[in-house]
Chain A
Amino acid sequence: MNDWTFVAADDEALDDVLSGRPTPMGYPWPKRTRNRVRLSEEIGALVRRTDFDGRDRPAALVVGPDTGRRLFGRYAQLRSDLAPLSAWTHVLDWSQFEQLHDDERPAQLEGFEASWTGLCVAEALMLSDRPLSQMRIAACLATPSFAIARSHALWQGDPIEAVLSRYDQCQRLLRTSDGSANRLREAFLPVWRALINASAPQSRGVGKELRTVSEALIKLRIARDAGRSESQALGDVFTFPAARFLSRLDTLSPEARLREFDRLIVELESLPDVEQEQRLNLQCLAGYLATVAAGGSPSLGLAEKLATRWPQITAWAYVIGGIGEKVTWTSSFDGLGRLVVRELLRPFRLDEAPTSDFALAEAVVLVDRALTDPLVHLRIKQSRVLSVAIMPGVNIAVPFVEPTVAESRPSRTEEPVQIAAKASDNGLSILAKLLAPYLLEHLYPAEPEIEVPQPQRRQGARGRGTRKDTQLSLNVDRDRQR
């Protein structure tokens, strides 16, 4: 059994804790310290004495934002052997720590796991414009839908805007732009809100324009769970004239359902922008109809053909298609479904080391645009896709391209004097380093530089040519560009 201790530490004590030396005086956790240490302490560490070797392992740091910033910088500069901290120990803020009542925090989506998974897949499909058969799990884990779903599953209560803000910050920090994910944001926002409301343990209430669709999701789930007529359940919620077909949906042939779908789209097109609620209702209803258009079988092609004009319909279709689905380990979505749902529902465990490459909070401090390699302090050992924790346990995929040899070579503008100044070098190596810039000029002819407006970014190695070009698009697009 693990033995947890909460240590309130100053910088010196923290060095000991993080180095694995015997833990200073602490409190047993979670029994006695819950919620009672915050006021008096600046830094907290949760330390676990492991079964197998009896050593103390710091499993989580608890810090406020200012303290975190200071610590991340300090360890990167002074104890770089331990940096980045978030690669090996969880980093929590105090409010997150207060929500922990155990060393495991379950992820809960209240029966809407399949719907959230469908939404992640739908967004990845629309962003990448690829068929499902070519979709990879990383593309789904790179979507805002995944970030929101996973944050909601683990840390209910964080507003969508806060999650999206972290998501965008991550994209801006590690890529040249926040990518094309914003393209769908406005369309997906109501879907996220309605689904969060439906998949929360207790309804938090939604805006007036979302009340009907939120109720529809819940009624649909209840009907499916009880084996009752789902079209009748929806008919009770959608009472406007365009939804009258729901009362006789069971008797409509696929061809007749197709005509109803077309009618919904015509009405949607004719609706003025101010009719926001009715617009959402029609989109949701069209999404539902796409899932049963082929006589009870889905016909997602109907929605997907309209995805450019009405991405909401495809989003609703994928959400509604998963409502009430409890068996989530099938090969749905060409096998992607079970992989996405596994990541959504993975519990956050303090006794397991982080599975991300680093936390966003630390990356914000350690990324230095003035360096040849701005990400050098993050010690990235992954290729292609990074896993970044935008919150503890909420790891999103971020496309990443390792610098090429040409990109990582020393700059010719580097001062030879600086290199020569290192006392530890012997004479031969000093000579080699002095000559290196001139040799490299012949070994690696200069590449043409691509002009990309980046006012805040210095023209460093990571900012050159291919790197910028590939980072302008989502990872899911990258293979296609090759």
Chain B
Amino acid sequence: MSLWWASKDQLDNDQMRLIERLPLRDNHLVLGPPGSGKTNVLLRRAQYVRSQGMPNVLVLSFTRALTEFVKTGCYDAQGREIFPRNLVSTIEGWIRFLYKEHKTRLPETDHLKLPQRKALIASSALEFVHQNKLPRFEAIFVDEAQDLLAEEVELLRAWSSTLFLVGDNRQKIWTNAAGLDAVRDQVNDLKEERLTTHYRLAEELCEMADRIQTAENGQPLMTNSQYRGPKPGKIKPNGPMGRTAQIAKAADRLYDQLRVYEDLIRQGDRLGVIVQRTEDRVLVKKAFDADERLVGKAQIIRARSGADEDRDHDPAFDPSCPISILTEKGSKGLEFRAAHWLFCDEDQQYRTAETYYTMVTRPKTRLDLYFASDLPMTLAKAYSPPAEMDW
């Protein structure tokens, strides 16, 4: 491998076409498998549209972690801002902003579950557009559109006549979301585009993901992979072992990965540690902070809780902390050079095939699975141990 080539992600012709050649005022839905550059296209398209005399745009994504990830794309390699980061927000943050701007209290939702709460808040915000206090956006760009609620689609439609959405039904991890069906139903003259080639996943990860779900267009990920990263990729089940041993094992691997991927990390790669429960993030963080090899290297990526003591929490990715600790839902839309999925055999009842597919497609090169008893059935079926040489 040469050091000479700058490892800048190059856009392919399909991506260029979606960014520059689609009509500016049409509604578009871009579909594509993990790693096909949907988020990249979304942000670059927003940047392009702004440069074409439509500066009033908004980029929305789902989770705080994903929003922060998108914001990292607002800067060039020299750290100069090339797209205003203040135009990137979570959907929830934007809706809360609408309430604040219109001096209206959020509806009482404590008695509701999360999807119903989100639906009520979104539908109640619909009336703000008629107050004509704020101008409508010239275009709104939405990432992970498969997890939109119908009410959220309606709200987006009300606030801009031009929507540019990207998504993938195979990565839908909110079971109550109306997702792309709602988008197709509600958005007029929606034109669908499709990215087929993907670049993120090593061959071994593609194979495993293909055994969990078939891609939406029926083509296995393997057939359209243009992965050019570190090889060989690897999936490594680690267990059975107790929780403490899982964290210790992950710490050993992370230390090696910090060393061997240092250059890639310097260029923006991150290492992911994924857990299901929010409280486990703190558990893992404490363990890493107690390990002198990892102290100061790990960061919990989460939104502010709203509590007073959390006011100073900065949800942005800290470049000096290349290890990101997140929940499964928090990791959606993100990518890591290597990911460690801890306690993956716990709380299996809350997971769908889409969840497993989404988790397996987060790492680019290596996925470590840690379990206390057995690999979950979906993962066990999908995992194929590498052939052992008998000589």
Binding site for B on A (CB under 8 A): 114, 118, 133, 224, 250-255, 257-258, 291-302, 317-318, 321-325, 327-328, 330-332, 334, 337
Contact B256 A255 (CB under 8 A): yes
Known contacts A295-B230, A299-B259, A302-B260, A254 near B365 by CB under 8 Å: yes
**B4 within 8 Å of A (CB atoms):** yes
18 CB contacts below 8 A, A to B, read A118-B3, A250-B232, A251-B232, A252-B232, A254-B366, A255-B366, A294-B263, A296-B230, A296-B231, A297-B229, A297-B264, A301-B259, A317-B3, A323-B2, A327-B4, A328-B4, A331-B8, A332-B4
- Bound form: Cα–Cα A292–B261 in Å: 11
How would residues 339 to 369 of chain B score, 1 for a CB under 8 Å from any chain A CB and 0 otherwise?
0000000000000000000000000011000
Whether A325 lies near B4 (C-beta < 8 A) is yes
> Does B230 contact A297, Cβ atoms closer than 8 Å?
yes
Q: Which residues of B sit under 8 angstroms from A224, Cβ to Cβ? A: 2
Q: Contact residues of B with A, CB < 8 Å?
A: 1-8, 77-78, 229-234, 253, 256-257, 259-264, 266, 365-366
The docked-state distance in angstroms from the alpha carbon of A251 to that of B204 is 13
Interface pair B4/A299, CB less than 8 Å apart: no
- Determine which of A118, A253, A330 lies in contact with B5 in the assembled complex, contact meaning CB atoms within 8 Å: A330
Select which of A294, A321, A324, A327 is within 8 A of B260 by beta carbon.
A294
List of A residues within 8 angstroms of B263 by Cβ: 294, 297-301
CB closest chain-B residue, reference A131: B266
**B253 partner residues in chain A, CB cutoff 8 A:** 255
How far is the CB of A322 from the nearest CB of chain B, in Å? 5
Complex: A325 Cα to B4 Cα, angstroms: 7
Name the residue in A297, A332, A334 with the highest tally of chain B Cβ atoms < 10 Å from its Cβ: A297
Inter-subunit contact B232/A253 (CB<8 Å):
yes
Give, as a whole number of angstroms, the nearest-CB distance from B186 to chain A. 44
Q: Please indicate the chain B residues that have their CB under 8 angstroms from the CB of A302 in the complex.
A: 259-260, 262
Q: Closest CB of chain B to A317's CB: distance in Å? A: 7
Contact partners of B6 in chain A: CB under 8 A? 330-332
A317 to B263, CA, bound (A): 13
A257 touches B260 (CB 8 A): yes
A258 touches B1 (CB 8 A): no
Residues on B with beta carbons closer than 8 Å to the beta carbon of A294? 230, 260-261, 263-264
Residues of B within 8 A of A291 (CB): 1-3
Q: Which residues of B contact A337 (CB under 8 A)?
A: 4
State the CA gap A334–B79 with chains docked (Å).
12
Q: Quick check: B259 and A253 within 8 Å, CB to CB?
A: no
Per the bound structure, the CA–CA distance linking A263 and B64 in Å amounts to 42
Q: Which residues of A contact B77 (CB under 8 A)?
A: 334
Q: Which residues of B contact A323 (CB under 8 A)?
A: 2
CB-contact partner of A299 in B8, B262, B365, under 8 A: B262
Closest to B337 in A: A294
- How many Å lie between the Cα of A118 and that of B2 in the bound state? 11
Query: In the complex, are the beta carbons of B230 and A321 less than 8 A apart?
Result: no
Residue of B nearest to A261 (CB): B260
Other-chain residue from A292, A331, A334 in contact with B1 (beta carbon distance below 8 A): A292
Best-surrounded residue of B8, B229, B232, B365 (most CB of chain A within 10 A): B232
What chain B residues lie within 8 Å of A318 (beta carbons)? 3
In the assembled complex, which residues on chain A have CB atoms less than 8 Å from the CB atom of B231?
Answer: 250, 295-296
Cα(A294)–Cα(B234), bound, Å:
13
With A321-B4, A327-B4 known, 13 other A-B pairs at CB within 8 A are A252-B232, A257-B260, A258-B259, A291-B1, A291-B2, A295-B365, A296-B1, A297-B1, A299-B264, A317-B3, A321-B1, A321-B2, A322-B4
- CB nearest neighbor in A for B265: A301
A255 CB contact (under 8 Å) in B3, B5, B260: B260
In the assembled complex, the CB of B311 is this many whole angstroms from the nearest CB of chain A, namely 33
Q: Which residue of B lies closest to A121 (CB)?
A: B3
CB distance from B15 to the nearest CB of A (A): 20
Which of A254, A300, A334 contacts B230, CB < 8 Å?
A254
Known contacts being A296-B230, A297-B230, A297-B264, is A114 close to B4, with CB within 8 Å? yes
Q: Which of B4, B7, B78, B260 contacts A254 (CB 8 A)?
A: B260
Chain A residues with Cβ below 8 Å from B7 are 297
Q: Which residues of B contact A114 (CB under 8 A)?
A: 2, 4
Q: Which of B3, B78, B229, B232 contacts A298 (CB 8 A)?
A: B3
Name the A residues within 8 Å of B257 (CB-CB): 254-255
